[in-house]
Structure 1
Amino acid sequence: MSKHFKLKRGLDIRLEGAAQATTANASAPATVALKPTDFPGLTPKLSVKVDAQVKAGDALFFDKYNPEIFFTSPVSGTVKTINRGERRKILEVIVEADGKNEFASFTKADPAKLSKEEIVAQLLNSGLWPFIKQRPYGTIAKPSDQPKNIFISGFDSSPLAPDYEFIFKDQIASIQTGINALAKLTDGKVYLGLPGKVSNSIFSGLKNVETNSFSGPHPAGNVGIQIHKTAPVNKGEVVWTTSIQALAYMGRLFETGQVDFSRTIALAGSEVKAPQYYQTIHGALISSIVGGKTKKNDPERIISGNVLTGTKVEADNYLGFADQQITVIPEGEHYAFMGWAAPGFDKYSASKTFFSSLFPKKAYTLDANMNGAERAFVVTGQYEKYLPMDILPVYLLKAILANDIDKMEQLGIYEVIEEDLALCEYACTSKIKVQEILRKGLDTMVVEVG
């Protein structure tokens, strides 16, 4: 039975540069890349060498500790470069596209007629399994686990987020096929979170799922918030999560027997000349999407993802594995006259510090300037305003810093990952690196608890 959850805590950061509902084809990228650094806890082992010929769907590397989990090439071509970091850590596997669009062959079948084992094998071999994450920890799900439930968020509430209703309006059949496959992987339920009124969504007619609706400010669209409100994760339990984009990939895999990694992403932000959607490929070169489309009036910051959880990149970097948008904002290499003492008629503040809160704009042009450095951790009750979960984020972070495993468990570390506390970091008076601390705590729990 569908339920509606109205969230009061959170914050919608109104930024200039939302993508308009038009789609264009991005330039075909000369190279694409998969980055093991996009996956917390992954230790990659290479399946290919430089100059190897690959098809779309051929394995590039695999998980050392779960060797059945493959990461596959989005395009056909030649393995051009394997970039490494300290201690020869693999940072990127770059494939030079040949433009032939050759695909590795997989089983074309109706998931309803396949066994769970056959579906798992298909997702593993095709490289689509890494799109399935687990809670706790936000790491890649283990194929051997039996999830209590599977959760999917049908919308994104983050700043300048893409409109899923627009992107996936012509892919409902493939998404349904993907859901049919997922439903075979759990004895529990597949939950789909939708915005506002369920009846108004293009996803409302999907079957094999239980839909719930969520209204209120960001992070209403975060799957972690939806899990907390619907069926919270307890110690010893595992649930899986995935995305609408992953469902579309899965559906196309079973419908065609090929891995089609084409996708539509939003190019947004105040520094983009004409924010809109672009058709591109998974792991595409950033410059193939952004090149020539920004204002370049001031130094700019390109972010793969959204402004809260995305990664700062250069134009010669690559789109993140799970990123559905690229955001471009001013870098903010300046000092504000009088700083916080200025009245701030045009400034935006989450804490309503400035006069602009009396006459707010519909949208603001914000930059990446931190307006200060990290300072003492002050307990103010500030974080709780932005986290619609029944946990105490400040005390959780202090338990992580103290490496207190028992306290971390008691304070709800199994329920959260970085994106759930991203607003806390944005609003933090002390400039604490909340997401970085939380990831360290999650990594500790993986080692100590498993």
Structure 2
Amino acid sequence: MSEVIKLRKGLNIKLKGSAEKALEKLPVPATVALKPTDFPGLTPKLSVKVDAEVKAGDALFYDKYHPEILYTAPLGGKVVSINRGERRKILEVVISTDEKVGSAEFTKADPSGLSAEEVKEQILKSGLWPFIKKRPYGIVASPEEQPKDIYISTFDTAPLAPDYNFVMDGQLDTFQTGVNALAKLTEGKVNLGVQAGSAFSSVKNAVINTFDGPHPAGNVGIQIANTNPINKGEVVWTINVQDVLFIGRLFETGKVDFTRTVAIAGSEVKAPKYVQTVLGAPIKDLVGGKLVETDYNKRIISGNVLTGEKVSEKCFLGYYDSLVSVIPEGDEYEFLGWADPGFSKFSATKTYFGKLFPKKEYTMNANIHGGERAFVLSNQYEKLVPMDILPVYLLKAILVNDIDKMENFGIYEVIEEDFALCEYACTSKIEVQKILREGINTMIKELG
């Protein structure tokens, strides 16, 4: 039994509408899409044209600077459109699905009996490599680098997050196969971040780290910082817990299977629950007919309310997302405004009386209640980030483009999700996550 790492800093935001542990299997979607915009720093080059027939696992596009990294079709069918934005930027590659087309064939083998190069080649050819990200920077890992360790967080503490113990029910053997494959890719260890009593504690060929604490304790970056922090020049790889299943299925069956369990949650969902669908499924298939009828606008978010992307029913599920959150937009006038005593409002501080009811669940909207103000030192951020880091100093170093100070204040250790709570609670209404990504982009441009 591993020692429990107790984290005190952070904040749990209790939103109404958590998904009940009930699973609905959705029909195969008529269309699916892969979005290059889901991959920070990617310069995509197309491998297909409109009307091309592709099997599941066939390449749709690849990375211009790492052509060995392929981004493959979630299902077989025909490419019906390649949607572009400004300056012909590729936004989506949309496929009209056809189950008769089938899947590309790969090697079926026990990864424990393969070499590291054979495992790497299989993951690259199948298009599963983009699920592996690297720290620093939170971008797709380079196959040429050697990570000191690989980290997987098996729980999520974000608002409305799915319960991965429920999601993984009956699939732990496949998860173990995925872990065995990942263990071949590092000379270090595969590290699992778990909660006490988790089913993942029985996984072999991995180091088990048990965590206890409020959000962001479930963030893999927080777990790295509290077990083996990243130093300059070091690389750590990370992968989401459900994405390990994709790797496990690949080696068990010799085919790609992008089936994913997604939580549909939030106060605006009639009956929040889990659905089984596929990567890149249309948002309309996931939420259609499931939302409460109201006279106010709703915000649909692919991901969680802190870090997710605002989408419409015409959009597609994000590449890494296992949650769709639906909350009120908050664009209507509010009686009394800031003068409301707030018995039914959640507050990160003691602004509202709702702070007196810590176990209460709240209906919260997307209104930020004000505009940007002076960015002052308040010690507010430090209470929300359980890392040996000074968030405000790091953000100000980014704003003045001081690379040395960015290094000194810990930019190698964090990505947007680690500072998301700071943006939520910020008195100054600073776009923390946007600033941090701009700093990361600067580091990549200047230092590689």
Kindly report which structure 2 residues correspond to 1:369-448, keeping only aligned pairs within 5 A, or say none: 369-448=367-446
TM-score scaled by length of structure 1: 0.98
Shift of 1:101: 6.0
Shift of 1:360: 4.3
For 2:412 and 2:45, locate their aligned partners in 1 and report how far apart those are by CA, in whole Å. Answer: 28
Shift of 1:342: 2.0
The DSSP-based 3-state class of the residue aligned with 2:201 is coil
Residues 1:227 and 2:254 aligned together: no
Equivalence for 2:248:
251
Equivalence for 1:15:
15
Residues 1:158 and 2:158 aligned together: yes
Equivalence for 1:322:
320
| Letter of the structure 1 residue corresponding to residue 236 of structure 2 | V
TM-score scaled by length of structure 2: 0.98
Task: Between 97-106 and 168-177, report the one with greater CA deviation.
Answer: 97-106
Equivalence for 1:291:
288
Residues 1:133 and 2:133 aligned together: yes
Provide Cα deviations, 1:374-401, integer angstroms capped at 9, x if missing partner.
1221211111111000100000000000
Distance change (3 Å), C-alpha of 1:69 and 1:184: same
For 2:345 and 2:353, locate their aligned partners in 1 and report how far apart those are by CA, in whole Å. Answer: 8
Shift of 1:98: 1.3
Provide Cα deviations, 1:162-188, integer angstroms capped at 9, x if missing partner.
000000111111110000001011111
Q: Is the 8 A contact 2:54 2:101 kept in 1?
A: no
Shift of 1:361: 5.2
The DSSP-based 3-state class of the residue aligned with 2:348 is coil
Shift of 1:339: 2.0
Q: In percent, how many aligned pairs have the same letter?
A: 65
Q: Is the 8 A contact 1:28 1:288 kept in 2?
A: no
Provide Cα deviations, 1:102-137, integer angstroms capped at 9, x if missing partner.
010000001011111111111011110000000000
Q: Is the 8 A contact 1:190 1:210 kept in 2?
A: yes
For 2:357 and 2:254, locate their aligned partners in 1 and report how far apart those are by CA, in whole Å. Answer: 55
Shift of 1:344: 1.3
The DSSP-based 3-state class of the residue aligned with 1:32 is strand
Residues 1:282 and 2:276 aligned together: no
For 2:112 and 2:386, locate their aligned partners in 1 and report how far apart those are by CA, in whole Å. Answer: 37
Q: Is the 8 A contact 1:9 1:387 kept in 2?
A: yes
Equivalenced residues, count: 447
Equivalence for 1:202:
199
Residues 1:213 and 2:210 aligned together: yes
Structure 1 stretches of 4+ with a deviation exceeding 6 A read none
Shift of 1:243: 1.4
Residues 1:365 and 2:363 aligned together: yes
Equivalence for 1:261:
258
Equivalence for 1:340:
338
| Letter of the structure 2 residue corresponding to residue 158 of structure 1 | A
| Letter of the structure 2 residue corresponding to residue 272 of structure 1 | V
Task: Between 415-424 and 331-340, report the one with greater CA deviation.
Answer: 331-340
Shift of 1:27: 3.9
Kindly report which structure 2 residues correspond to 1:108-147, keeping only aligned pairs within 5 A, or say none: 108-147=108-147
Distance change (3 Å), C-alpha of 1:251 and 1:359: closer
Q: Is the 8 A contact 2:263 2:272 kept in 1?
A: yes
Q: Is the 8 A contact 2:300 2:326 kept in 1?
A: yes
The DSSP-based 3-state class of the residue aligned with 1:230 is coil
Q: Is the 8 A contact 1:35 1:321 kept in 2?
A: yes
Kindly report which structure 2 residues correspond to 1:87-102, keeping only aligned pairs within 5 A, or say none: 87-100=87-100, 102=102
For 2:12 and 2:423, locate their aligned partners in 1 and report how far apart those are by CA, in whole Å. Answer: 14
Shift of 1:358: 2.1
The DSSP-based 3-state class of the residue aligned with 1:263 is strand
Provide Cα deviations, 1:13-38, integer angstroms capped at 9, x if missing partner.
00000000000122432110111111
| Letter of the structure 2 residue corresponding to residue 449 of structure 1 | L
Kindly report which structure 2 residues correspond to 1:70-109, keeping only aligned pairs within 5 A, or say none: 70-100=70-100, 102-109=102-109
Shift of 1:205: 1.2
Q: Is the 8 A contact 2:45 2:63 kept in 1?
A: yes
| Letter of the structure 1 residue corresponding to residue 229 of structure 2 | P
Q: Is the 8 A contact 1:27 1:289 kept in 2?
A: no
For 1:376 and 1:37, locate their aligned partners in 2 and report how far apart those are by CA, in whole Å. Answer: 31
For 1:101 and 1:299, locate their aligned partners in 2 and report how far apart those are by CA, in whole Å. Answer: 40
Q: Is the 8 A contact 1:332 1:369 kept in 2?
A: yes
Equivalence for 1:28:
28
Shift of 1:99: 3.0
Provide Cα deviations, 1:219-244, integer angstroms capped at 9, x if missing partner.
00000000000100000000100111
Shift of 1:139: 0.5
| Letter of the structure 1 residue corresponding to residue 433 of structure 2 | Q
The DSSP-based 3-state class of the residue aligned with 2:100 is coil
For 2:57 and 2:353, locate their aligned partners in 1 and report how far apart those are by CA, in whole Å. Answer: 54
Shift of 1:2: 2.4
For 2:391 and 2:33, locate their aligned partners in 1 and report how far apart those are by CA, in whole Å. Answer: 35
Equivalence for 1:271:
268
| Letter of the structure 2 residue corresponding to residue 193 of structure 1 | G
Residues 1:190 and 2:190 aligned together: yes
The DSSP-based 3-state class of the residue aligned with 2:139 is coil
Shift of 1:363: 0.3
For 1:296 and 1:381, locate their aligned partners in 2 and report how far apart those are by CA, in whole Å. Answer: 41
Unmatched runs of 5 consecutive residues or more in structure 2:
none
Equivalence for 1:301:
299
| Letter of the structure 2 residue corresponding to residue 102 of structure 1 | G
The DSSP-based 3-state class of the residue aligned with 2:121 is helix
Task: Between 356-365 and 321-330, report the one with greater CA deviation.
Answer: 356-365
Provide Cα deviations, 1:29-72, integer angstroms capped at 9, x if missing partner.
21101111111100000000000000100000000000000000
| Letter of the structure 2 residue corresponding to residue 15 of structure 1 | L
